Structure 1
Amino acid sequence: MSSSIVQYILLRSDLLKDLGWSIGALVAQACHASTAVLHVYRDDENTINYLGDLDNMHKVVLEVLNEESLKKVAEKLKENSIDHKLWIEQPENIPTCLALKPYPKEEVKKYVGKFKLYKAMLTS
């Protein structure tokens, strides 16, 4: 059943590209947001089903350009009663990432469909 349920994570691309955060720091932000929203909504039926089939969890990490874009998405989700967690990194107090609780894709695609998959350009 969890295969039809997706967890979307929206991560700021400017943290890497403009502000010099490491890939590891970005991964940590996504992990924080995902873990937090799963905990907050642990009694939700979609979350229970999603976590009931751990080997088939489906997450999609999408790119938002900056803090302003992330806050706009969070506000739109809130206005439409879409459960999510805006992760604010402490002690810096910087919004970095947003994770939706697991939802059937069809229920939330209109809120996340305009965002591209997150692609980090690595240089060595």
Structure 2
Amino acid sequence: MKLTVSLDLLEKEFYYVSPVKPVSTVPLIYATFLAEKAQVAYTTENEAKFARKVERSFKAAFHEIVDVNREYSDALDQDRLLAPQEHLTNQAKLIDSVIAATQKYPELQLIRVELAGSWPVYQTEAGQLDLAE
């Protein structure tokens, strides 16, 4: 079974989104895993999620991803101006950290990583988000 998890670095939260991935205005990472039947549990609403032991491993990997990418997530959260190459370098580092962190746990069989939502690649001062508007 395939199980997709949405990683929100700005909120430092993750959500199960299988099978439908929602459209988002915030930068999200979708990580899709191949899970055996014994690795999956179901909520009271009959939605799939990792079984407790696997979820512990995923939480450990997720916390590592958040720690490794703290500087970039802070820049995104504060809408800090970065050069286009800095965004691309940080996004590549982010993807690499998702892969590396999940590979440390054999029960997490990562099969796909996607960037979704609003990831800046180019921005000038005039393009900064004004949250007061």
- Interval containing the TM-score (normalised by the shorter chain): 0.3 to 0.5
Q: Decide which structure has the larger Cα Rg and report it.
A: 2
Q: Give TM-score, length-normalised by structure 1.
A: 0.38
Q: Give TM-score, length-normalised by structure 2.
A: 0.36
